[in-house]
Structure 1
Amino acid sequence: MFNYFAVKFGLAYIIDLILGDPRWLYHPVIIIGKLISFLEKFLYKAKNKIFSGAILNILTLSTTFIVSLLLARTGYIVEIFFLYTTLATKNLADEGKKVYKILKSGDIERAKKELSYLVSRDTNTLSLDKIIMSVVETIAENTVDGFVSPAFFAFVGTFFSIEIFGKVVSLALPFAMTYKAINTLDSMVGYKNEKYIDFGKVSAKVDDVANYIPARLTGLIFVPLSSLLLGYNFKNSLKIFFRDRNKHSSPNSGQSESAYAGALGIQFGGKISYFGKDYEKQKIGDKLKEFDYEDIKKAVNILYVVSFLATLTFILIKIMEKK
């Protein structure tokens, strides 16, 4: 089955690089989001918010897994198409390049507005440096959940299969799509605010566990190697990764962010405002240089090379797997 994975995932990756997320596509993540919103209306009414939040998680993930399994059974074309929808390399790169072009045109206010669609922090008071930092930081963090994690789970899924209605089906797609459901749950209910601190607790923890290995593969291997191939600071990428990777409120976000910061010689963190309240985030990286527009392009370059290296790694492992 390893050759099938190489072809299927390779094609899914190429399609993602070409098409990204077309506006005409009713993305599966949108459908998952609607399911979460529908279930939340009923489950949030329960008194025990942690328990009802756990039920939301279980129902969403099990439904996604079962539907994905049935889709995978229909044939390779359908499986490749839905595998492609779990990847977000081009979409993430395009969002970064969009802000880059706006900044280059000198329209700071428009750049702030565009950035507000990508991040949860307040953007209206950001300086030029902070805008650039926020874009690069977003690309660094989302390299994991936008590509490496779904690719990793698609790869892991190839080691398992289920016979359904007389046909053996690989779990590559169900694993990858279920990961997207995990990530969507975290983005919708995994907040530590008054409303979701209990209801979203299980979803946030599950997301932390799911991203644990992919985040460390990204920070330790894929980003440093990408920086080496691109001529960026390979040694500093590894240095900052080992030194600063745990200087983040998230157990996973700092893994990739630290490697990116080291590769580009920049520093994340400092005072950031969320929903009108200021927070002092720990600093990640050394300020070897001031932020400039080109840091966004460099971050996009790293993203593309990371996606290629991850795809190549997972495919080669399957090809070399003993029968």
Structure 2
Amino acid sequence: MPSSATIAPTRMNLSASLPLLVLALTIEAAFGYPQRFYAAIGHPVTWIGRSIGMLDRVLNREASSFVTRKAMGVVALALLLAITIAAAGLAQRLCLSFGPLGLIPLAFVASTLIAQRSLYEHVARVAEGLEQQGLAGGRKAVAMIVGRNPQTLDAAGVARAAIESLAENFSDGIVAPAFWLGVGGLPGIAAYKATNTADSMIGHRTPRHLAFGWAAARLDDLVNLPASRLTALLLVASAALDREADAAGAWRAVRRDAGKHRSPNAGWPEAAMAGALGLRLAGPRVYGETRVEDHWMGDGRAEASAADIRRALTLYRRSCRLLWTLAALLAAVVLL
């Protein structure tokens, strides 16, 4: 644990933020976000979501011009980040006023913005649905984690969608929050989650949000750049430790396919996962009534199954352990 001299109540350097990251990853992996907390007070992301919804209603006026709505989207994002960073900074200042022991409650707060445990549980339910209830069960479970129309998916499509969601959300639900927590403490991870939530809510190219959501979508692309690349490396390294995975195939798929994805970030973890498991992921798919043409990630088989979801979850858990190990090693280096 860092000495009190290394922790300033108003800011956080790496000698404090990296141990904080290790603690937060440990707490979240062990406990997740207890359901009773969610029932009683909601979740920080839902609080952020309500703020985004309010800003959307107030600032995104349909009568305004495209340019005005685009400018209002920038204003909305700036306000959201200012409020989020200020609140997180206040909480961090309060915790660190107690010295090194303040890292413990601060880690509990930070852990609520990481989703290792819940991601595993949601994806595992898709495998369980396919195994126990067939296609109907798989469709019902996968509808909880993907935006595409589940009724257009066969059993293989359901399995691929679950694995794609696992890979992409490993990047933006675990590795990216961890990265920004390690770099910027609680304000860093809170700002990231605010940006990512804004992109999820208003960053899509719908008629209402084409202009207003532009800033959120572009900033989300930017802040996810380092984590998406790191996620791919973690998956490749995890594949090298798994006799049933193909590390060389994962690396080939990343180099060949990651840049072909319509997202500047999603292709990296999806290509790594596809290559490691000998699958093809992404490709053409349907969101609502809209068919999206996208490149395939990987050159393996498209006929994925519940067993492949289980293999992906094993790779994911090993990658989470590697992320924790990397954070712990970096924390040890900065503290020595």
Percent identity reads 30
1:85 deviates by 0.7
The structure-2 alpha-carbon separation of the partners of 1:289 and 1:134, relative to structure 1 and needing over 3 Å to count, comes to: closer
Alignment of 1:147-162 (within 5 A): 147-157=174-184
The amino acid of 2:56's aligned partner reads: E
Alignment of 1:54-93 (within 5 A): 54-75=74-95, 76=102, 77-93=104-120
| Secondary structure, counterpart of 1:278 in structure 2 | strand
Measure, in 1, the Cα distance between the counterparts of 2:333 and 2:236: 24
| Secondary structure, counterpart of 1:194 in structure 2 | coil
Measure, in 1, the Cα distance between the counterparts of 2:329 and 2:30: 22
| Secondary structure, counterpart of 1:281 in structure 2 | coil
Measure, in 1, the Cα distance between the counterparts of 2:83 and 2:105: 18
Moved more, 70-79 or 233-242: 70-79
1:106 deviates by 3.0
Measure, in 1, the Cα distance between the counterparts of 2:138 and 2:305: 14
Given candidates 297, 306, 319, the residue that maps to 2:332 is 319
| Secondary structure, counterpart of 1:306 in structure 2 | helix
The structure-2 alpha-carbon separation of the partners of 1:111 and 1:283, relative to structure 1 and needing over 3 Å to count, comes to: same
8 Å contact kept, 2:51–2:80: yes
1:264 aligns with 277
Alignment of 1:135-154 (within 5 A): 135-154=162-181
Alignment partner of 1:230 is 2:242: yes
Given candidates 134, 137, 161, the residue that maps to 1:110 is 137
1:315 deviates by 3.0
8 Å contact kept, 2:18–2:182: no
Measure, in 2, the Cα distance between the counterparts of 1:208 and 1:30: 21
| Secondary structure, counterpart of 2:210 in structure 1 | coil
1:101 aligns with 128
1:114 deviates by 2.0
Given candidates 9, 15, 24, the residue that maps to 2:27 is 15
Structure with the higher strand share, 1 or 2: 1
8 Å contact kept, 2:48–2:194: yes
Measure, in 2, the Cα distance between the counterparts of 1:33 and 1:308: 30
| Structure 1 alignment gaps of length 5 or more | 158-171
1:308 deviates by 2.0
Q: For 1:260-304, what per-residue CA distance to the aligned partner results, in whole angstroms no more than 9, with x for missing partners?
A: 000000001333111112222211101247312121112112222
Measure, in 2, the Cα distance between the counterparts of 1:246 and 1:72: 38
| Structure 2 alignment gaps of length 5 or more | 1-5, 7-13, 96-101
What TM-score does the superposition give when structure 1 sets the normalisation length?
A: 0.91
Q: For 1:68-126, what per-residue CA distance to the aligned partner results, in whole angstroms no more than 9, with x for missing partners?
A: 01111222243111110111011000001111111111332132122112111100121
1:128 aligns with 155
Structure with the higher helix share, 1 or 2: 2
Alignment of 1:290-301 (within 5 A): 290-301=303-314
RMSD: 1.6
| Secondary structure, counterpart of 2:273 in structure 1 | helix
Given candidates 63, 72, 90, the residue that maps to 1:52 is 72
Given candidates 202, 208, 215, the residue that maps to 2:215 is 202
Moved more, 290-299 or 7-16: 7-16
8 Å contact kept, 1:113–1:124: no
| Secondary structure, counterpart of 2:305 in structure 1 | coil
Q: For 1:19-58, what per-residue CA distance to the aligned partner results, in whole angstroms no more than 9, with x for missing partners?
A: 2232222210010001111111111025411100011110
The amino acid of 1:197's aligned partner reads: L
1:7 deviates by 4.0
8 Å contact kept, 1:151–1:311: no
1:305 aligns with 318
Measure, in 2, the Cα distance between the counterparts of 1:216 and 1:68: 27
